[in-house]
Amino acid sequence: MAEDVKDAALIAAYDGVVCDLDGVVYRGDDPVPDAPKALRDLRTRGVQVIYATNNASRVVAEVAEHLAGLGAPATPDDVVTSAEAGAAQLARSLPAGARVLALGGEGVAEALTRAGLEPVRPRDRGDDAGPNRVAAVLQGLGRDLTVWDFETAARLLGTGLPWVATNDDATLPLPWGQAPGNGAYVDLLVTALGRRPDVVGKPHPPLYRLALDHLGTDASRTLAIGDRLATDIDGAAAAGLDSAWVLTGVDLPSDLMQTQATPTYVIGSLTDLFRPYAAPVEKHGSWHCGSARARFADGELRLDAGGASPVEAVRAGVAALLGEREAGRSPDELSHAAEVVLNRLL
């Protein structure tokens, strides 16, 4: 954490932001309250913003249009997807114009075209998708893919062609719940073929590296913001970036106890970027944040919010529980303590 964070807005220590989308800017069809305004305010302050998403199915123009429609500043150049990171990785090792099987949706094919490669769809039957005519396979989510498409990919990958997967998220959140994500479809081929692809999306570093390339900012002055611990926060650490875990999405304090993730900051919303960051401090076995005080004793989290804001109380409680996690206490016990005391503050 940079030195000047204590005395100024949290964001004063950074020149650029890599921002996750779902759970940070929007949830389903609706914007996260105040998030579009906070993103506009970042631009006004001169902080550069790039949106980075593991979702490979949408083309960047569609993502940018969605964001702009919610009031967040975004053009297609402000968006990077895991499909683009995958296409960029292939473009580094293949000749310009090389043909690549696009095992995915429109976002995968478009990313290949933008990277100077030629996408070939599995359903382009005949020689077009034959092993002599295709140099690699890029696999991303495509909800119209068929069994036949996976058989075509298996035939090609069986010959040892390079194989890049956009991301390995096991699930895809839909309005009714969790559908199989790209990782589940990757595993289908892994099971059949006995080999694994290179994966470029979060938590793997290539997508963050592509985002940094677009921003042109130094990694030490770039903040990654996300709601998922195992992808956004672990991925930021793997790429050498500070991270802000924002509590407007899927993961809750209780989830933190089941991971090894350690976010640099815990924020209640993007608006907290413009406030000084009150970091939790340990005093005599208790953790203090603002006027909140927390300690773990007898299997329970004792929290005295003392008039602190909810996010400060959460920070104090999380710090107390992370201390126990470090000491090797049972994740289930810590999750339960976090669930009954901290999750309800949000």
Q: Whole-number minimum distance, CB 343 to Mg ion, in Å?
A: 18
**Chain residue at closest Cβ approach to Mg ion:** 23
Q: Whole-number minimum distance, CB 106 to Mg ion, in Å?
A: 21
Q: Whole-number minimum distance, CB 25 to Mg ion, in Å?
A: 9
Q: Whole-number minimum distance, CB 30 to Mg ion, in Å?
A: 14
Q: Express the helix, strand and coil content of the chain in percent, nearest 5 each.
A: 40, 20, 35
**Active-site pick, 4, 15, 20, 298:** 20
Name the 3-class secondary structure at 327.
coil
Q: Whole-number minimum distance, CB 24 to Mg ion, in Å?
A: 6
What is the residue type of 239? A
107: left (phi over 0), alpha (psi -120 to 50) or beta: alpha
First-to-last alpha carbon distance for the chain, in angstroms, is 25
Chain positions contacting Mg ion, by CB under 5 A: 20, 22-23, 227
Nearer to Mg ion, 38 or 109 (CB): 38
Residue of 344, 342, 316, 248 whose CA lies nearest to 38: 248
Nearer to Mg ion, 36 or 119 (CB): 36
Nearer to Mg ion, 17 or 305 (CB): 17
Distance CA 269, CA 34 (A): 8
Question: Taking a C-beta distance cutoff of 8 angstroms, is the pair 269, 32 a contact?
Answer: yes
Two tokens at 35? Answer: 């998030």
Q: Whole-number minimum distance, CB 142 to Mg ion, in Å?
A: 20
Q: Is 127 a catalytic residue?
A: no
Residues 6+ apart with CB under 8 A from 30: none
Nearer to Mg ion, 101 or 207 (CB): 207
Q: Whole-number minimum distance, CB 53 to Mg ion, in Å?
A: 8
Identify the DSSP state of 170.
S
Task: Give the helix ranges, DSSP H, for the chain.
Answer: 35-44, 60-69, 82-93, 106-114, 147-157, 182-193, 205-215, 234-238, 253-256, 310-326, 331-341
Nearer to Mg ion, 250 or 340 (CB): 250
Nearer to Mg ion, 23 or 280 (CB): 23
Two tokens at 113? Answer: 């075209």
**Active-site pick, 7, 22, 30, 144:** 22
- Beta strands at 99-103 and 118-120: parallel, antiparallel or unpaired: parallel
Identify the DSSP state of 32.
P
Nearer to Mg ion, 166 or 309 (CB): 166
Q: Is 4 a catalytic residue?
A: no
Instruction: Tell whether the torsion through CA atoms of 191, 193, 198 and 200 is positive or negative.
Output: negative
Active site residues: 20, 22
